[in-house]
Structure 1
Amino acid sequence: MIYGIGSDIVAMHRIEALLERWGDKFARRVLGPDELQEFLRRRSRGAHGAGYAARYLAKRFAAKEAFSKALGLGLRGPMTLLSLEVLNDRRGKPFARARKELAPYLEARRLIAHVSLSDESDHVMAFVVLEQQPEGLPQQPKEAQ
């Protein structure tokens, strides 16, 4: 059953300005440990690395906003920017991984997330569907949520 749907769009110039002003400090306020590692890896990719990293960060920010809307809580406990990581599986498909106090909150409600990310030159967008599993069905493995 669909529990909630959320979407968000982010203008790239806003993220680029925040990164220029605050640098890694901004990234550390938005990204979890595994996301931050990927952000730093992308940033180190030569002349275009900063652009790749900014786009990666913008997509994660949009996904977390969309997730918070689907959950119906906004960005407040247990849903915070650092309580959710949006990663990619081996094929590149994005998935959400709950951390901290968000993980037991989602498990108690039997919620799994479906995440879609997209971008164009000036904007990135995220779409999240939260699905509530019927009682008695096993939850998806954490790396696939």
Structure 2
Amino acid sequence: MIYGIGTDICDVRRIRASLARHGERFAQKILSDAEFATWQARSARWPERGVRFLATRFSAKEAFSKAIGLGLTMPMTWRSCEVGNLASGKPTIVLHGALKDWFDARALSAHVSVTDETDYAASFCVVESL
């Protein structure tokens, strides 16, 4: 049964401006440790790719927070929700800490899709109860 649905669209230009204003500190606030390492590697090779990576993660976490009905209130935090990829490349939600405990206690499962274009990143998330 569907527990919740969330969607988000993020202006990549806004993410770029936040990075210019706050530097790595902004990325560290939004990304998990694993995501941050990926962001650093992508940014080093091609800075714009790093911006898009951050924008898609921002968007996916917003969509997930809406799907679980918490928004960005505890136990949902930016860093406790990670957007990973399966070996196939399919994006997946990986949770940590209190958010993982909260999610598991409700026997929930999440499905996420992310995309980006020149100026926008968008995400869609469906959370279902098992």
Deviation at 1:119, TM superposition (A): 1.1
Q: What's the secondary structure of 1:82's corresponding residue?
A: coil
Aligned-residue CA RMSD in angstroms? 0.6
Aligned residue number for residue 35 of structure 1 = 35
Deviations 1:69-111 (A, max 9, x none): 0001110100111110001112211000001110010100001
Match of 1:65 in 2: 62
2:77 maps to: 80
Structure 1: gaps (5+ residues): 134-145
Of residues 81, 88, 93 in structure 2, which corresponds to 1:91? 88
Aligned residue for 2:79, secondary structure, equals helix
| 1:51 equivalent in alignment to 2:48 | yes
Equivalent AA in structure 2 for residue 117 of structure 1: V
Using the TM superposition, give the Cα deviation of residue 18 of structure 1 relative to its aligned residue in structure 2, in angstroms.
0.4
Q: Which residue of 1 aligns with 2:25?
A: 25
Partner of 1:13: 13
| Higher Cα Rg, which structure | 1
Gaps of 5+ in 2: none
Find the aligned partners of 2:116 and 2:106 in 1 and give their Cα distance. Answer: 31
* Number of aligned residues: 130
In structure 1, distance between residues paired with 2:117 and 2:24: 24
Give the secondary structure class of the aligned counterpart of 1:7: strand
Moved over 6 A (4+): none
Percent pairwise identity: 47
